[in-house]
Amino acid sequence: MIFGAGYYYLIEPQTIGHDTRYNMYIFWLPTIIGVLALAIYRRRFLTNQFSINKGAVLWTAMILLYLVEGFMVSYLSFGQVSKISWDILNERVCRENKTETFTFDVTEFNRWRSPSVNFRFNGKLERIYLPYSAIKEYKDEDPKDYELTLEVNKGIWNFYKLKSWELTRK
């Protein structure tokens, strides 16, 4: 978990874009494979637990508890490896492509937990995270008065890696 948090906050590149293949192949498939691998690895423990305890309510609670535990462990192991591998491959593809510039209307300035600028890209809500010092000056501003210009490199499955950003008044 510490490794995953370190990667997320220190190394992971900012990207924009959506694709259902990403959710399927990078998140769900590795996580489900991990849950199955964990269930096979712990099959004796699980059969002992389910044979000792009787009752539908207890069984339901145990199933839910072990599934949640399995998903967490699986995502933190299999899912993180898959995500990091995808990020490395996407980085290589981005290096080979030209830099593109897009301009978006800002929909919201988020100044609280994770300071960010929200906008719409290909019909979906996107955000880029910024340091609080960069966004605090827009505290009392109307986001509709601003445009966000992004320089990005196209990667895999219509994901774009962020190179630079600029906020300007319309």
Query: Per the structure block, which two tokens stand in for 25?
Result: 């192949």
131 class by beta-carbon count within 10 Å (0-12 exposed, 13-18 middle, 19+ buried): exposed
Domains defined along the chain, listed by start: 2-96 (no CATH), 99-169 (2.40.50)
Q: Could you tell me if 27 and 79 are in contact, meaning their C-beta atoms sit under 8 angstroms apart?
A: yes
In DSSP terms, 168 is beta-bridged to: 147
First to last CA, the chain: 42
Query: Per the structure block, which two tokens stand in for 88?
Result: 């490395």
Sheet hosting strand 99-110, strand order edge to edge? 15-16, 160-169, 146-154, 99-110, 116-121, 124-129
Query: Per the structure block, which two tokens stand in for 165?
Result: 């950003």
pLDDT tens string for the chain (170 positions)? 787 788 877 888 999 998 999 999 999 999 999 999 999 999 898 888 888 877 788 888 888 999 999 999 999 889 999 999 999 999 999 999 999 999 999 999 987 778 899 999 988 999 999 888 888 888 788 999 999 999 999 999 989 999 999 999 98
Residue 46 CA, distance from chain mean position: 31
Can you list the pairs that 65-71 forms with residues at least 24 positions away whose Cβ atoms lie under 8 Å? 67/35, 70/34, 70/35, 70/38, 70/39, 71/31, 71/35
